């Protein structure tokens, strides 16, 4: 079997990156791992998260014999990329909030960063803003409740419009804001629903295509073999029938259980 590219997230957010990867690398075999036992990551302490992320990724890279790991999670990438690169021998591609393209797109110079509580206040995010959005106003909005809404969407459950509205509300207090960074991989899955709740049109920017381009560079080919190979999935806790159906819509089978050394 052709070694897959392994995509990792706390939950279904990585599926937004899978979409971009399949468009960019239609021949590449993919595998997916999600840490639903620890979902959500965005409200957990940093030290605990680093150890957890390394343990899950190490176990999943071994189980999948992956040729590369895509950390399809801003919360994990802004914290644990160095630790992952120290521990793993395969190339690791991370996800960081799309501050740079958003700053380039904004005409008003006021952009929103919609992400988890962890991501909005990380030093990594501060550095991205200093480097790529100096002179812009960046409105940071922690919207952890939207993570569960994206999980609901993929599991075929209805969204709660009041949760979407409350998540977005702090953005609309800035009348000149014209661009919103979807700085959590769960959020592009909700893009249509979020745009429908917006009181005025804004540009929604995510990192999916940029990650896929980076993976293509790292893999060094545009059309790998193995399209028909099985596309295994691992989870760290049981999943609902709705989520199994949601994964199937993305071409994935029901998850296997990932065993972690520390249980
Ligand atoms: N999908 C993850 C991200 O991109 C976060 C979701 C969570 O809080 O677990 O940040």
Q: What is the pLDDT along the chain (263 residues), one digit of tens a residue?
A: 678 999 999 999 999 999 999 999 988 899 999 999 999 999 999 999 999 999 999 999 999 999 999 999 999 999 999 999 999 999 999 999 999 999 999 999 999 999 999 999 999 999 999 999 999 999 999 999 999 999 999 999 999 999 999 999 999 999 999 999 999 999 999 999 999 999 999 999 999 999 999 999 998 854 555 555 668 999 999 999 999 999 999 999 999 999 997 54
Mutate to test the pocket of ligand 1, among 7, 8, 9, 154 (most ligand atoms within 8 A of CB): 9
Q: Ligand 1 centroid to 203 CA: how many Å?
A: 21
CA–CA separation, 100 and 105 (whole Å): 9
pTM: 0.96
Catalytic residue among 15, 28, 73, 142: 73
Give the tokens for residue 209: 């295509």
- What is the 8-class DSSP label of residue 43? T
Does the bond joining 40 to the residue before it have cis omega, within 30 degrees of 0? yes
Can you state the percent helix, strand and coil of the chain, rounding each to 5?
A: 45, 15, 40
Report the relative pairing of strands 203-205 and 5-9 from DSSP bridges. Answer: unpaired
Query: Quick one: tokens of 134?
Result: 């100096």
For 191, the token pair is 């893009």
Question: What is d(CA 71, CA 3) in angstroms, rounded to the nearest whole number?
Answer: 17
The CB of 116 under 6 Å from ligand 1? The reply is: yes
119 near 98, Cβ under 8 Å?
no
Q: What is the pLDDT of residue 227?
A: 55
DSSP string, 152-192: HHHTTPPP-HHHHHHHHHHHHT-TT--EEEE-STTGGGGHH
| Contact by Cβ (8 Å): 40, 9 | no
Task: Give the three-class secondary structure for 214.
Answer: helix
Q: So what's the pLDDT on residue 220? A: 80
Is it true that 5-95+209-257 and 99-206 share their CATH fold? yes
Overall size of the chain counted in residues: 263
Neighbouring C-beta atoms of residue 130, cutoff 10 Å: 10
CATH topology of domain 5-95+209-257: Rossmann fold (3.40.50)
| Ramachandran assignment for 255, one of left (phi > 0), alpha (psi -120 to 50 degrees), beta (any other) | beta
227 CA to middle of ligand 1, Å? Answer: 28
Q: What is the pLDDT of residue 219?
A: 86
Angle subtended by helix axes 145-154 and 241-249, to nearest 10: 80
Determine whether 73 is an active site residue. yes
Told to judge if 184 belongs to the known catalytic residues of this protein, a careful annotator would answer yes
Tell which residue, 159, 186, 154, has the closest CA to residue 9: 186
What are the residue boundaries of the structural domains of the chain, listed by start? 5-95+209-257, 99-206
pLDDT at 222: 44
In angstroms, the CA 227 to CA 107 distance is: 41
| Domain at 99-206, CATH from 3.20.20.70, 3.40.50.1860, 3.40.190.10, 3.40.1280.10 | 3.40.50.1860
State the distance from the centre of ligand 1 to the C-alpha of 106, rounded, in angstroms: 25
Mutate which of 45, 71, 184, 190 for ligand 1 pocket (most atoms within 8 A of beta carbon): 184
């Amino acid at each position: 079997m052709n070694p897959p590219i392994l995509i990792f997230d706390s939950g279904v957010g990585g599926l937004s990156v899978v979409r971009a990867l399949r468009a960019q690398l239609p021949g590449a075999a993919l595998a997916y791992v999600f840490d639903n036992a620890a979902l959500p990551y965005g409200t957990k302490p940093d030290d605990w998260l680093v150890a957890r992320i390394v343990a899950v990724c190490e176990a999943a890279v071994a189980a999948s014999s992956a040729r590369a790991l895509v950390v399809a999670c801003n919360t994990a990438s802004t914290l644990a990329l160095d630790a992952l690169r120290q521990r793993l021998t395969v190339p690791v591609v991370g996800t960081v909030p799309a501050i740079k393209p958003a700053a380039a797109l904004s005409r008003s110079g006021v952009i929103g960063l919609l992400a988890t509580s962890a991501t909005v206040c990380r030093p990594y995010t501060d550095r991205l803003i200093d480097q790529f959005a100096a002179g812009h106003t960046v409105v940071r909005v922690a919207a952890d409740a939207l993570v569960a809404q994206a999980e609901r969407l993929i599991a075929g459950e209805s969204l709660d419009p009041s949760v979407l509205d409350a998540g977005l509300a702090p953005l609309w207090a800035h009348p000149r804001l014209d661009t919103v960074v979807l700085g959590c991989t769960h959020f592009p899955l909700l893009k249509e629903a979020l745009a429908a709740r917006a009181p005025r049109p804004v540009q929604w920017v995510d990192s999916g295509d940029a990650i896929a381009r980076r993976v293509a560079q790292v893999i060094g080919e545009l059309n790998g073999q193995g399209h028909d190979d099985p596309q295994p999935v691992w989870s760290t806790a049981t999943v609902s029938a709705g989520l199994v159906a949601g994964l199937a819509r993305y071409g994935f089978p029901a998850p296997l259980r990932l065993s972690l050394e520390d249980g």
